[in-house]
Every structure is written in C-alpha cells, then in structure tokens.
Structure 1
C-alpha cells in the first residue's frame, strides 16, 4: 500500500466542476422501457412479499435487465465522477410503498443497507417535520428546511429517491472533493498537507450512545493513486467543546474555512432539481453533498419528501487506516437499538413524524 502524498493536483473524472457538468446530461442515466418494467415488477413483488429489510438480499430480487444500470451506477461511484442520477421511474403512478420497494431493491444490488438512527431503521426520510432551523441544537438536518453545509455522511454510499419536490428551492447540491483539494493546493499550497493529518471529530453529537466523545480521521486520503475526501467542519469545530481535544491551530482553522468557502463558490457545486422518481447514488468519498433552502407546499401530503439509504459498499477501495467513520460503523454493529424500528416496507415507507419536533 502506497500512501505517499506529493501534494500535486489530482486529475481524473472525480475532478469535476458543476458549471461544466450542468451544460450536459452525461451524469443522468435515463431508464429504458425494459429496465423500468423490471424495476416496477421487482418493486411490486417486494411489496407483496414484505420481507424483513434487515435480512433480505439482492439474490432474492435479481435484476437481469438492469445489469447495465447497476454496472453504470457502480462504475461512476467507484471510479467515475462519484455520482449518478437515475431518472425515469413513475413513482406518482404506483405510490410510496412500491417506490420505496424499488429504491430498496436497487440499493441491495449496490451495497448493504445501514441503520440510520437509534431505532436501527435502514430506510429513512428527508422531510420537514418541524419549523426549527439549524441554529437550534436539537434540530435534525433531515427534518428542517434550511440550507445545509456541504458534508459527508456516515456511510460509503448515500442514496436519495425523490417522492415529492418542494414548492420552491430544495435543490440537491453536490461538489467534488477532488476539485476542492486542487483549489486549496493552488491557492494555499502551504496548508494542503494539513488535510492528510488526523483531525478530531465530534462523535457524541452524532451519536449520544457513542463510547467516546470523539474519533480521529484525516479529511483527505491518497492511497495507491486513489484520492478520497471526508468532510464536515462543524463536527471538527464542535469537537473543540471537549477539553481533552487539542486546540486547533490558526493554520488548521484557516484551511477548514477555506475548504468550506471553496465548496460554496459559484461554479463548483452542481445543483439538481429533483423530479418525482429521481434516484441519486453518491459515493461519500468522492463528493460532498448539501441542499438549498426550500419552501414547502401548505398541504402536508405535498411536502418535499425524499427517501434515504446509507450503504456499505465493500469493493476494496484503498483508504488510509481509520479513514472516515469506520470506527462508527464498527460501533453500530455492536450497539443495542432502541425499540421502534420499522423493518417492513409498508411501514418503513411512511415517515416517523415524531422525529425532529
């Protein structure tokens, strides 16, 4: 394993700019009739079978006609730009349960679903359940309408399916971690090396049951020619609340702010206006994600509503030891879940409106 970093610009398909991609549709995969028909049939069978979401496997629901679709999603995440948007599902015709079943079957063919909350739910929802803002420390980012900062999630892959869009706003925003790094290297080369050093991340805020207040991880990894990022400066800054954590240096604070500033610069992010049925597959190591602020429809049944999957995707991607939330993943395999999880597709397709109140 070679982890030598020579602090040179990183090239390749993961080093993209949003203003360039927005002029094309190369990042959108349009389903053909055979793929759509197979996914719809699999979703209806899945909904009828009603399997346990924790134990069902891809082999139980083969997708022969979709081999090209699954292969392209895998290729783009593993060695391409890091994401793909799949378009063409008619979710408004067959309702949320079948739509959720299709989404889950696709997920099974691209990784292993992970628990996303203390109940162990493996299918979660992004929907505003309160009028809180992110200034409120009790607010859940997935349950408010604020713009979110660019960040990485707790999984190898994060996937979203749009059931209903917002009245206004609510675009899904992605930005290339590779491009951010290249820009830092170009503008402040003396700070770039800090991204490869260990940082303390707030574990307690992410998981109240965590066995420690913090864990450590670099922001960037470069192993055997593969570049990866893991970002979320708010978790680094909040880790400073613990007295045992070393104080950030002025240079570290500067590079964190620079990272966030570059991520938001016009031209770098790609904003996607989700349509009902759109499915976004994203490798957390290749791109960061956020969303723009949005306004909901007044009717509760028309609220912006996305389904979310977190997947483990074990394809041997080389990473420096302890990169990202690997320690969190190991802890999740051992923890005891709070009763109340929803592990059948019919109930899992309905949001838990007790969250984020």
Structure 2
C-alpha cells in the first residue's frame, strides 16, 4: 500500500489507546486489514514470514468483535459492545479525566522524591563514601517512618561529617586535605539534611489482590513489621529444625557470594562499548538485513561480530562462573528504528547465549512462540482490571527470579523518576539464612504449590524453590533459586486461585525473609538508556523500585530469556518440565518478536 502524503509515528484510537510504531495513516477503507512492507528483513508477528508485517486494525469501533487481541479487557468489551460511539466517547472522556487527576496527584510526590534523591546522592559527586543507602518505602506509613529516620540521620551525618571529614581527608592528602574535608563536611550539612527531610514516596499503586481462604496475612507488597512479628511468633512456638537439610552446605564460597555495598570494590560489572565496537555492531545490522531472513534466524553467524565475539564469550563465562551479572553500556538507541534495536539486542545476545526461550505461547490470539517481551507501564492504556503482573505497572517489583537460565533486559528508555534496577546474590542470602534460620532452608527446599497463571489442565505445580547441586569433577557445589512472589500471593487482577492450597506460615516467612535479605545485600546497577543487563537467573535475583513516567519519558525495557548450552548449569529434575516449556521446539521460523508492548498471558486476566 502506498504511503499517503500525511504521515505520523503514532495514532490515537477512539478509546484513548495510542498505537505506537505506525509509519503512516491509511485511508479509512484500508484500516480493517492492512499490510506494511518492511523489506526483506521484516517479520510477521504470527508466522515468522519475512515478506510483510500485518497490522490488525479491525472494523470501526462500534462494530468490533471482542478479543481482538489478548490484551483487551472484558469490562471494556461489555461497555463497547452495542453502544453508539457518541455514548462511548463520554465514557472515554470520564476515564481520561480520571487519569489526569491521578497523574496530577502524583506530581508533588514525584518532584519531591526526585529532589530528595538528587540531594541525597550529591555528596557522592565529591567522593563522599558515607552516604547511606536509599530508604525502603512500601507505602504511606513506611514513608512517614522513613522521612523521620531520614531527617534524623541526615542531621546526624551532616554534623558528624563537618567534624570528622577534615581529619580523615587530612590524613590522606595532608594539610590541604584539611580544608578539602572541611568543605565536604559543610556540603554534607547543606545536602544531606534537606535531602532526607524530603524523603517520601509510595511504591505500590495497584490495589491489593484479595487473599484466598486460609491464606496467611501476606500480600505482594512485603510488610517488614509483619515479617518480624511472624518470625518472632514462630521462633517462640519452637519445634523448628536447627540443622540444615542433608547435603546442603553450611556456607557457599566464591565470586557469586557478594554484597551490594562492597561488590564494586572488586568487580566492575559495566562493559562500555567503544566507537569501533559500535561500528562493528552497525555493520552486523546491515549484514543481517541484507540476508532477507526473519528475526528468528538471528545467530552469532548471521549477526557477525568478529572482534567483539571473544569479549562476549568471556562475559558469558563471567555470568555462569563469576559474579553472575554484567551490563553492556553505550548502545545508540536513538540512532536506530525499533526493529533495528531488536536486531541489535537479539544479535548481541546470540553471542552470549545461543538459545532464546519462549515467553508466551500465543500472540494476537493465535498460537506463537513469542521470544521477546516488553516491560512497560500499560495502565495508562489498559484498564487496571486486566493487569495481573507488576511488569506492566509503575509499582515496585519485589525480589524475584524470572524463568530459565538467563534473564536479560535492554533499556530503550528509562523513567522520569525512580525505577532503579536492583540485584542480589542468592548465595549471600543463602549463607545468611543457613547460619541464622536453617529451618527456612528446609522450607525453601521442600515442595511448594506454585500457581500456573496461563490456562492449563492443572492450575498449579508442586516444586521446590531452592535446589542443591553437589560438587562434581567438573563443577563446584552450588545452590539455585527460582521463584516469583506473585505465584503464591497473587497480584492485581490475578489473585491466588482459591482452588489452590494456601501457603503455610513457614512459607510466608520464607518469602519475606528472602525479599528483605535481598534488599539488605542488593546492588543498584544504575540502569541507563542503551544498557543491556544480563543476569544468571539461577544465582541472582532481582527487583525494581517503583517509578513515575511522563508523556515525554516512559520507562520501556525489552526482555529475553536465554540459555548458553556451552556454559549452562545442569537443570534440576524438578524444574525440567518448565525448561522444556521454555526452550524445546522453538524454531527460527516460529519465533515472534513483537515490536510493540503487550500483556503476556501469564500476566493477563483476559488470557
């Protein structure tokens, strides 16, 4: 179809949803079914064909069929069906006003939080290493507590630094260091106290999912006080195991045991690409596009990086046998189209881990092997009633793992405020629990009833969250953790199914314990636009701070689930069924790389 004279990069539908990525506006007669020629390197979202990409626009609003895509919400269908657009437009205007009011209420919190954080970390710019970690806030009550603590700590730290820093810096740098330390101390009073006076933010926005009958008092948002009370109560009751399960180590050692406050002293996890490497990546994009293959054919051979390849293989070894994570920095996102950024992301990743995992089994209502997903707030375009995963909200994501060996995230854009990416060492957390609460190692290594959010014959599976690998001739002793909190307590529109047995008090305590120890020992990777973050998903678990977007700046990540057959850890027997779902039967021809955000079946009430 020929491109008409007027063009745009997006269009707004009558419901207020914006369809990004449109490179033209077709005539109305063509909107029902149109095809865009994207060249020989394009891909159909359904069948992997490289001739064209189908854009499913549908009939006029009031004549649409239900379930156009797997992200449409039943409640809106009920409102739309049979209604004249004149009346539905009033509903849209009411919803729009609601979004405007909700956004306006967030503005003072967002500005205050951003200002507080900027002032809080300003002393690090002049090498002040005494700045405290950012405060954990899970709601308004904890925000008030954090604000009081922050003010007191800020006042104490500022006054202390004014007296201590001149002495400390003078010892290192001599007479002139005394004056340098004096100025640094003065800066601490100026920045730390007002910064910490302003510390307040709310990190959970989505309404709490209702608990099924018999479920302990626990929700997706961890509550520190409830955790402490539950732990004290269970310890008082007694009869808890005092030794570790047979075979489990008292302590793990190695590079995978690290703490957020000190890991940067010995490990630089950021690999910054230089101009020569970036040019090599651009040449690889041109080479792949010239092959005329669908995106599922992206491999180390079809995306050649002759000079960078050895470094990427070294980083894969670091992922599996070193510290378990790294960040590739410097990709020029704005210089490329969305499709080219996907090619770059999958192409680089193919040198690190050759296998791409299946993240969804359908797309646009049809069977598909979806290997790329988008992590983005979709509450502005989707009714909250359909979203059952924090990945599609601005909420804080608590500590968890994804599925499979490796989880990777590519930042196309960061948020206007918040959204820090946090990583924690499973091994460091294991060592803490093993030394202080061996009974919880029993709990984590026993069978749990884990909900299956996608449609299945059985809505839950039984498996342990923690697995032990004994040492062999070729590999050291290891433990691996795989879990997501929402699979046991629900989130948003997907509460825990009442037909699934409730979790126990011991399991509730275990979930809180690994989360709060993750917070204690985590590192912030300073995720920036153009970064690709790779995580050993068996040895590292991760979280995300709540964040705020603006119309101009919306946090948008791409995600791949990967596996490197050369370096991969053995798959525990209890987890093999899940690995088969991820990696078996995924062919180049069947792989789908959606270029626009959508809600995966596992996070969608309308699945």
The number of aligned residues is: 338
Query: How far apart, CA to CA, are the structure 1 residues paired with 2:342 and 2:499?
Result: 44
Query: How far apart, CA to CA, are the structure 2 residues paired with 1:349 and 1:138?
Result: 20
The one of 441, 450, 461 equivalent to 1:215 is 461
Relative contact order: is structure 1 or structure 2 higher (C-alpha 8 Å, sep ≥ 6)?
Answer: 1
Deviations 1:302-346 (A, max 9, x none): 3111111111333451343113xx32343467899xxxx9836xx
Q: CA deviation at 1:154?
A: 1.8
Change (3 A) 1:148 1:354: closer
Matched, 1:259 2:518: no
Query: How far apart, CA to CA, are the structure 2 residues paired with 1:23 and 1:310?
Result: 29
Q: Is the 8 A contact 1:52 1:343 kept in 2?
A: no
Larger radius of gyration: 2
TM-score (norm 1): 0.83
After TM superposition, list the pairs within 5 Å mapping 1:181-260 onto structure 2.
Answer: 181-203=430-452, 205=453, 207-208=454-455, 210-223=456-469, 224=471, 225-237=477-489, 241=497, 243=499, 245=501, 248-260=503-515
Q: CA deviation at 1:102?
A: 0.9
Query: How far apart, CA to CA, are the structure 2 residues paired with 1:260 and 1:353?
Result: 25
SS at match of 2:370: coil
After TM superposition, list the pairs within 5 Å mapping 1:307-346 onto structure 2.
Answer: 307-314=558-565, 315-323=567-575, 326-331=576-581, 343=592
Query: How far apart, CA to CA, are the structure 2 residues paired with 1:172 and 1:295?
Result: 14
Query: How far apart, CA to CA, are the structure 1 residues paired with 2:598 and 2:249?
Result: 46
SS at match of 1:173: strand
Q: Which residue of 2 aligns with 1:21?
A: 263
After TM superposition, list the pairs within 5 Å mapping 1:70-109 onto structure 2.
Answer: 70-109=312-351
Deviations 1:154-211 (A, max 9, x none): 22111111111111111111111111111111221233232222222111x2x22x33
Change (3 A) 1:335 1:105: closer
Change (3 A) 1:232 1:18: same
After TM superposition, list the pairs within 5 Å mapping 1:50-69 onto structure 2.
Answer: 51-69=293-311
Q: Is the 8 A contact 2:298 2:347 kept in 1?
A: no
Q: Which residue of 1 aligns with 2:523?
A: 270
Query: How far apart, CA to CA, are the structure 2 residues paired with 1:32 and 1:83?
Result: 20
Q: Is the 8 A contact 1:7 1:192 kept in 2?
A: no
Deviations 1:10-56 (A, max 9, x none): 11111111111355761111223332222221123334545223344
Query: How far apart, CA to CA, are the structure 2 residues paired with 1:278 and 1:220?
Result: 30
Q: Is the 8 A contact 1:201 1:215 kept in 2?
A: yes
Matched, 1:124 2:367: no
SS at match of 2:529: coil
Q: Is the 8 A contact 2:449 2:500 kept in 1?
A: no
Higher helix share: 2
Q: Is the 8 A contact 1:191 1:255 kept in 2?
A: yes
Q: Is the 8 A contact 1:73 1:281 kept in 2?
A: no
Q: CA deviation at 1:105?
A: 0.4
Query: How far apart, CA to CA, are the structure 1 residues paired with 2:255 and 2:382?
Result: 36
TM-score (norm 2): 0.51
Q: Structure 1 unaligned segments of length 5 or more: list them.
A: none
Q: CA deviation at 1:148?
A: 0.4
Query: How far apart, CA to CA, are the structure 2 residues paired with 1:294 and 1:83?
Result: 23
Matched, 1:43 2:289: no
Q: Which residue of 1 aligns with 2:92?
A: none
Query: How far apart, CA to CA, are the structure 2 residues paired with 1:46 and 1:96?
Result: 15
